[in-house]
Amino acid sequence: MQPYDYVEIRVPAKAQYIGIARLTISGLASRLGFNYDEIEDLKIATSEAVTNAVQHAYQDNEGEVVVGCALFEDKIEIMIADHGESFNYEETKKNIGPYNESEEVEFLREGGLGLYLMETLMDEVKVHHEEGVTVFMTKYLGEEQVGKDVKTVTS
Amino acid sequence: MNLSVELSKEDSVQRFHIAGEIDAFTAPVLKDKLAEVQDVPGLQAELNLTDVTYIDSTGLGVFVGFYKTLKANDGYMKIIGVNDRVKRLFEITGLDEIIDIEKGVGENRDATL
């Protein structure tokens, strides 16, 4: 396994903290060497996932959103969970399976444009449902990977 | 993280100058400001995004809602001053096919009409 640094932040599930998550990702992506456009893509994708978590998971405005980032030499992996438990990063990653069609449709109905943007702006996006929603997304450094795993959303 | 929305009326055109970041936290500010005029029949609105530094699906949703309301009231909406980033977002989502978007701020002040 490639070595990586892991950074995690937890923010209250409130809209005013979405910008904080965005700034954190921006700083980490910059550190890894992503270019301006890629950093903007990462900011939007992260905001979309955190916005979903804030709006759908905690309508009573309680709880926390966990944003975990694994920084590799050639990519950044971002996990956003709308349930307050800290990640066991390796465990969570293992449990992220292949797409479940029905789940994806369900999430789409709620996420709408947000999920579409995440999939367009990131190289890989997976959504995992178990005790809440976990979004797992990856962006590679460098041009050659861009668009490799972009999925088309038709509905 | 701030968002400001200034409204100025010039001839028959309502010009909105929007500045700052539009996300789920700030979008309600924008939505409320636009809602003040959206029911005016035949409203001509021009939204200037020159100073918008960040926008995501929440902001796009507000523009779509405003566009729909205006259209239902025989009004017209135009977006000007989009930078490459914002333009890309409109293109990715296909909204550039629906909403009238102009890159930069045109000299022709009657362009909305």
Does any domain span residue B30? yes
Chain B, nearest residue to A121 by Cα: B92
Does any domain span residue B97? yes
Instruction: Give the C-alpha separation, B98 to A64, whole Å.
Output: 37
Task: Please tell me the distance in Å from A44's CA to the nearest CA on chain B.
Answer: 6
Residue B61 is part of a domain; what is its CATH number? Answer: 3.30.750.24
Domain count, chain B: 1
Nearest to B56 among A37, A44, A54 (CB): A44
8 Å CB contact of B57 and A40:
no
Look at residue A50 in the predicted model and tell me its pLDDT: 95
8 Å CB contact of A19 and B89:
no
In the predicted structure, residue A154 carries a pLDDT above the cut 90: no
Over its C-alpha atoms, chain A yields an Rg (Å, rounded) of 14
Q: Which structural domain, as residue segments, surrounds residue B34? A: 3-103
Burial classification of residue B63, based on how many CB atoms lie within 10 Å of its CB (0-12 exposed, 13-18 middle, 19 or more buried) = buried
Does any domain span residue B108? no
Does any domain span residue B8? yes
Please identify among residues 64-83 of chain A the ones whose CB lies closer than 8 Å to any CB of chain B: none
Does any domain span residue B79? yes
The pLDDT confidence band at residue A146, using thresholds 50, 70 and 90, is very low
Q: What is the pLDDT of residues A25-79, one digit of tens each?
A: 999 999 999 999 999 999 999 999 999 888 865 566 578 999 999 999 999 999 9
Q: What is the pLDDT of residues B86-109, one digit of tens each?
A: 999 999 988 999 899 987 775 554
Does any domain span residue B113? no
- In chain A, the domains with their CATH numbers are 5-145 (3.30.565.10)
Residue A16: CB partners within 8 Å, gap ≥ 6? B1, B25
Does any domain span residue B111? no
Does any domain span residue B27? yes
Is A26 an 8 Å CB contact of chain B?
no
Share of chain A above pLDDT 70, in %: 70
Q: Which two tokens stand for residue B19?
A: 């500045």
